[in-house]
Amino acid sequence: MRIAVVGAGVSGMMAAWFLQDEHEVTLFDREPFLGGHAHTFPVSLGAQTVYAETGARFFFDVSFPYLLALLRLLDVPLRWCPTHISFVDRPHRHTVVLPPRSPRHVLSLLRSARMLRHVLQLRRLAESADQVVRDRDWSMTLSEYLRHNHYSPSFGPEFIFPFISASWGAPLAEIPQFPIYSLLSVMRRSPGREAGTYEIDGGISVYTETLGKRLTRTALRLGTGIRRIREESGFVLEDEQGQAMRFDRLVLATSARDAARLLADVPAAAGLHTVARSFRHFETEIVIHGDPSFMPAQRHNWSMINLFNEGDHTWMTDWSGWRDQLPVFRTWMPPQRPAPTPLYCRRAFHHLIMNPENRTLQKRMAELQGRDGIWLIGMYSIETDSHESALKSALVPARELSPQSPAMKLLLEQVHRNQSSPDRAERSG
C-alpha cells in the first residue's frame, strides 16, 4: 500500500521504520529536519560546542524502556547525569538547591521550616510514584491526590504547583488538574538511583539522525508541509506548494491540534477529528541564549535545572552548558520579559495540557484508529505527554498494517532483553 506519514517527529519516524519493509511509505514534515520536538541546536563558543536541546531533553530509566531499547539497538551511547534543581521562590525570597551540594545549601534549606516541610513532602510524593503507577488511576488530579493523602494545604500552592508548572513549562493554573498518574509515571526512577537524567553526547539529534539512516526504504519529503487532505479513491495530500499525491492509508504523526486541522476536510474521519480537536494545548516559546540574568542571582545557586516561581507565573532555565560550565542556557520564556542577549535560537511550540479528560479521549481514539484507513499517533495519543509515549504510539498502526514488521520485532525483542537485564541500557554508555 501507499502510506503517507505526516510528521517526522519520533512517532512518525518510528511508524515509517516499522512500515517501510512491506509498504511504500512517504514521510512528510514541514520542517527541513527529522526529529520534530527532539532537536538539538549546537552553539559554538570558541573551540567548544554546547549541544543545546530545543525540545525533548530529559529521559530517565524505568519510565523510558522503549526509548532505551531503541538507543541500544541504534548503538547510540548515553550516560546518566546526576542533576540538581534550584528552586527560586520569589514570593518568599528564598532559593533552595535540591539535593543540596554544599553546607551553604543545607543551611539555606534549614533556615525555613516551611521550605523544609515542602521538600520533605516532595520526597514523600516522589516515593509514592510506584504505588500511583500501579493504581493507574487517570481520574485523580494532583490537587485531589494531595488532599486525600493529607499533604499540608500550603504544599500545593506554595511549592509543588509552581515546581511542576516551571518544570513542564505549563501554565500554573492548569497544574492542580494534572493527573497524578501522568505526573509521577514520567518521574519514576529505579530504587537507589540518584536524581538525574540520561544524556546523549552531541545531543538528542544524534539519535534522530541515526534513526533517520534506518529509513532507507522511506521517501523523505522534509520541508514539505501538508496544507490539506481530501478523500478521493484513498487520500489526496496537497502540500504547501500546491502539489498533490494520492495514498491508500494515512498516518498523522503531528500534534492533536495539527491533526485536527488536517482532518477538517475528511468526512470519513469526522470521529477522529472531533477527538483530536478536544485535546487542549498551551503556547510556549523556548530560547537558547547566553544571558546569565536568566539564572539564579547568585552563581553558587546555579544548577542544571533552575525553576522560578514568580507568584502568578513560573518559568525555567536549564543550563545547557553545565557540563563544561559554559554560558549557554535554555529558557522557557516568561511573559513580558525582553529577549535575552546573546540570543542563539528561538522556537515556538504548542504543547499538550494534561488532564484526566485526555484518558477518555485516548480511549475514544483507540476505538476509531484505522477505521477508514486513518491513524493518529504522537505523544498525546497514548499514555502521558512524553517521548516514550510518542515512540510507542507508532506500534498502533504498525500492529495492523505490518504485523510482521522486522523493525518492530527488533525493538520489542530489545525491550524484552533490557527488562531481563536491566543494566543493559546503561552499558551502551
Ligand X SMILES: Cc1cc2nc3c(=O)[nH]c(=O)nc-3n(C[C@H](O)[C@H](O)[C@H](O)COP(=O)(O)OP(=O)(O)OC[C@H]3O[C@@H](n4cnc5c(N)ncnc54)[C@H](O)[C@@H]3O)c2cc1C
- Interface residues with ligand X (CB under 6 A) are 6-12, 28-31, 36-38, 55-59, 225-226, 253-255, 258, 262, 286, 349, 351, 378-379, 385-387, 390
> CB of 34: closest distance to ligand X in angstroms?
8
Residue 174 one-letter amino acid: E
> CB of 253: closest distance to ligand X in angstroms?
5
Whole-number Å distance between alpha carbons of 88 and 6: 41
> CB of 355: closest distance to ligand X in angstroms?
16
> CB of 147: closest distance to ligand X in angstroms?
28
> CB of 52: closest distance to ligand X in angstroms?
12
Which cell numbers hold the place of 354?
494534561
Residue 421 one-letter amino acid: S
Contact 204, 53 (CB under 8 A): yes
Whole-number Å distance between alpha carbons of 429 and 423: 11
Give the chain's length.
429
Whole-number Å distance between alpha carbons of 175 and 153: 15
> CB of 332: closest distance to ligand X in angstroms?
7
Task: Give the DSSP letter of residue 301.
Answer: G
Rg (CA), the chain: 22
Residue placing its CB nearer to ligand X in the complex, 11 or 362: 11
Contact 309, 92 (CB under 8 A): no
Nearest Cα neighbor of 282 from 141, 163, 171, 142 is 171
Which cell numbers hold the place of 102?
554544599
Residue placing its CB nearer to ligand X in the complex, 180 or 390: 390
H helix or E strand, kind and range, residue 291: none
> CB of 109: closest distance to ligand X in angstroms?
26
Place of cell 547510540: 76
Residue 164 backbone dihedrals phi, psi, to 5 degrees: -75, -40
> CB of 330: closest distance to ligand X in angstroms?
9
Residue placing its CB nearer to ligand X in the complex, 39 or 118: 39
> CB of 167: closest distance to ligand X in angstroms?
9
Residue placing its CB nearer to ligand X in the complex, 23 or 387: 387
End-to-end CA distance of the chain: 39
Residue placing its CB nearer to ligand X in the complex, 42 or 100: 42
Residue placing its CB nearer to ligand X in the complex, 38 or 180: 38
Residue placing its CB nearer to ligand X in the complex, 33 or 417: 33
Residue placing its CB nearer to ligand X in the complex, 1 or 220: 220
Residue placing its CB nearer to ligand X in the complex, 109 or 237: 237
Residue 405 one-letter amino acid: S
> CB of 390: closest distance to ligand X in angstroms?
3
Residue placing its CB nearer to ligand X in the complex, 20 or 254: 254
What 3-state DSSP class applies to 78? strand
Whole-number Å distance between alpha carbons of 211 and 34: 9
Handedness of CA 385, 390, 391, 393 (dihedral sign): positive
Nearest Cα neighbor of 6 from 249, 225, 252, 224 is 252
Other beta carbons less than 10 A from residue 205's beta carbon: 21
